[in-house]
Amino acid sequence: MTRRLHLNAFLMNTGHHEASWRLPESDPLAHVELGHYVRLARTAERGTFDSLFLADGPQLWSNLAQRPAGALEPLTLLTALATATEHIGLIATASTSYNSPYNLARKFASLDIISGGRAGWNIVTTAGAEAARNFGLEHEPAHAERYARAAEFLDVALKLWDSWEDDAIVADKAAGVWGDDSKIHPPRHQGTYFRVEGALNVPRSPQGYPLLVQAGSSEDGKSFAARYAEAVFTAQQTIEDAQAFYADLKSRTAAAGRDPEHIKVLPGIVPVIGSTEAEARAKEQLLEDHIVHRHGVANLERLLQLPNGTLALDAQLPADLPSEDAVEGAKSRYTLVVGLARRERLTVRQLIGRLGGGRGHLTFAGTPEQVADQIESWFTRGAADGFNIMPAVLPSGLDAFVDHVVPILRTRGLLRAEYGPRQTLRERYGLPRPANQYLEAALV
């Protein structure tokens, strides 16, 4: 088998389950401890994962009562992890809504250089009025406007990463010539959202530019991914939905003039692993028993854009919810959650239990063999190129996956046994190093 499974470790403080911090094994302060993340990164590297990922947002998520809140800035943290690891890719979320292209392009180029070509950028358009108010805005920009800004933002970043040719540095001591100014290409960009004149003040990095990752599944999100993304993190509840998303995104990518093999689709999965199915179910139930439902109700009302006090725990969702077109926030997650509740006729209490582990991502409790079966089925049946592994509890959930599921995937020929020669992150994902756009234009 030449096709190999891609695995990304999505690391979130004490684990993805909102009640994970309440377990006796958990350290409620782990989310701000470097040693915690170093341990997780090295565990994922022991499992020969392609990459690890840190989510982020420019606001304080949830409330302090619910779960560990606040987070270390991801690019800073990944720079530290770059010195503690050798092979694994390092992906950070950064918003196009509340950053400037020049500063962000410089930070990612720096991480790529420091890590030897292992940087990745999860490109997001930030939803929510809370974030908007942190940047002087009364309301979040409209969904379509956020994506229009994101497209221009990325176009500018690509110009900046290409503003140095690969051989711009001469370093000729005898001639007294350090660099060749003719190989510097200032963007001189004048657009709707940005004006950026000069070249980046960092040389072109080992990958050319970082692996470009995207996570939106709305119509705007899929169009953006087809144009730019090289890996897509997605939330899918059923294999049928995952197959439809996979086929649609590959088709859109081809229609955009790109090779569909150059975009990798990685659905999220929250595995709860036990030596028996009963043990796994008991672990899952223990977590669900520790959910504080008032927090779940508040979060669900916020996602569904309902007034406080609308939802009753033992009733189903209201019948008259707005359509996705009327939502300006996280459109695709809204549709996924409502679809899950309607399809399985869940009460609000049951829905909160289902969302507590992965906020809409697939949750799966079972033995290592059952988890491996689920992953293999989606991978071989046109639903995924790999998976975003989201342990419910950290570090124990990642340990269990690496110690018990990874060996099965290796035995089945789905996953590498070792990393082999040193590679960049985009090489690990089977992607070419991008040509410099200014050189390509000169050859036309």
309 has pLDDT over 90: no
Q: Which two tokens stand for residue 275?
A: 């030596």
1 has pLDDT over 60: no
- Residues 50, 10 contacting (CB under 8 angstroms): no
pLDDT computed for residue 58 by the predictor: 86
Q: Residue 327's pLDDT band (boundaries 50, 70, 90)?
A: low
Q: Residue 55's pLDDT band (boundaries 50, 70, 90)?
A: very high
- Give the pLDDT confidence of 254-297 residue by residue, as tens digits: 999 999 999 999 999 999 999 999 999 999 999 988 888 888 78
The pLDDT of 211-232, averaged and rounded, is: 91
Q: Cis bond leading into 74, ω under 30°?
A: no
pLDDT computed for residue 336 by the predictor: 77
* Crossing angle for the helix pair 74-82 and 101-115, to the nearest 10 degrees: 20
Report the 3 state secondary structure along 79-107: HHHHCCCCCCEEEEEEECCCCCHHHHHHH
Give one DSSP letter per residue of 236-263, joined into a string.
-SSHHHHHHHHHHHHHHHHHTTS-GGGS
- Residues 73, 442 contacting (CB under 8 angstroms): no
- Residues 47, 7 contacting (CB under 8 angstroms): yes
* Paired residues of 242 in beta bridges: none
* Paired residues of 124 in beta bridges: 95
| pLDDT over 70, % of the chain | 96
Q: How many CA atoms lie within 13 A of 128 on its CB side?
A: 17
Give the highest mean pLDDT range of 20-34, 287-301, 309-323, 342-356.
20-34
- Residues 218, 336 contacting (CB under 8 angstroms): no
- Give the pLDDT confidence of 331-352 residue by residue, as tens digits: 667 887 888 888 888 898 888 8
pLDDT computed for residue 4 by the predictor: 92
pLDDT computed for residue 266 by the predictor: 97
- What secondary structure letter does DSSP report for 322? P
Please count the residues of the chain: 444
- Give the pLDDT confidence of 82-101 residue by residue, as tens digits: 999 999 999 999 999 999 99
441 has pLDDT over 90: no
pLDDT computed for residue 329 by the predictor: 59
66 has pLDDT over 80: no
- Residues 149, 140 contacting (CB under 8 angstroms): no
What one-letter code names the amino acid at 406? V
Higher pLDDT, residue 320 or 191: 191
DSSP helix, strand, coil percent of the chain (3-state; round to 5): 45, 15, 40
The pLDDT of 341-365, averaged and rounded, is: 82
Q: Which of 207, 215, 211 is nearest to 234 (CA)?
A: 215
pLDDT computed for residue 62 by the predictor: 63
442 has pLDDT over 90: no
Give the phi and the psi of residue 357 in degrees, each rounded to 5. Answer: -85, -35
Q: Residue 204: CB partners within 8 Å, gap ≥ 6?
A: 109, 161, 162, 164, 165, 166, 168, 436
- Give the pLDDT confidence of 377-427 residue by residue, as tens digits: 999 999 999 999 999 999 999 999 999 999 999 999 999 999 988 899 999
pLDDT computed for residue 262 by the predictor: 96
pLDDT computed for residue 414 by the predictor: 96
Which of 20-24, 109-113, 309-313 is predicted least confidently? 309-313
Domain-wise residue ranges, the chain: 6-275+360-443
Cα torsion through 22, 28, 31, 35, rounded to 10 = -120
Q: Which of 389, 393, 398 is nearest to 24 (CA)?
A: 393
Q: Which of 357, 365, 320, 356 is nearest to 338 (CA)?
A: 320
- Give the pLDDT confidence of 116-168 residue by residue, as tens digits: 999 999 999 988 888 889 999 888 888 889 999 999 999 999 999 999 999 99
Q: What angle do CA 134, 135, 139 make, to 5 degrees?
A: 85
Is residue 29 helix, strand or coil? coil
How far apart are the C-alpha atoms of 208 and 120, rounded to whole Å? Answer: 12
How much is the mean pLDDT over the chain?
Answer: 92
Euclidean distance between the first and the last CA atom of the chain, given in angstroms as a whole number: 39
The pLDDT of 189-215, averaged and rounded, is: 97
Q: Given CA atoms 178, 182, 183, 184 in this order, what sign does their dihedral have?
A: positive
Q: Helices marked H in 169-238 — which ranges? A: 219-228
- Residues 115, 51 contacting (CB under 8 angstroms): no
What topology does CATH give the domain 6-275+360-443? TIM Barrel (3.20.20)
How far apart are the C-alpha atoms of 374 and 211, rounded to whole Å? Answer: 27
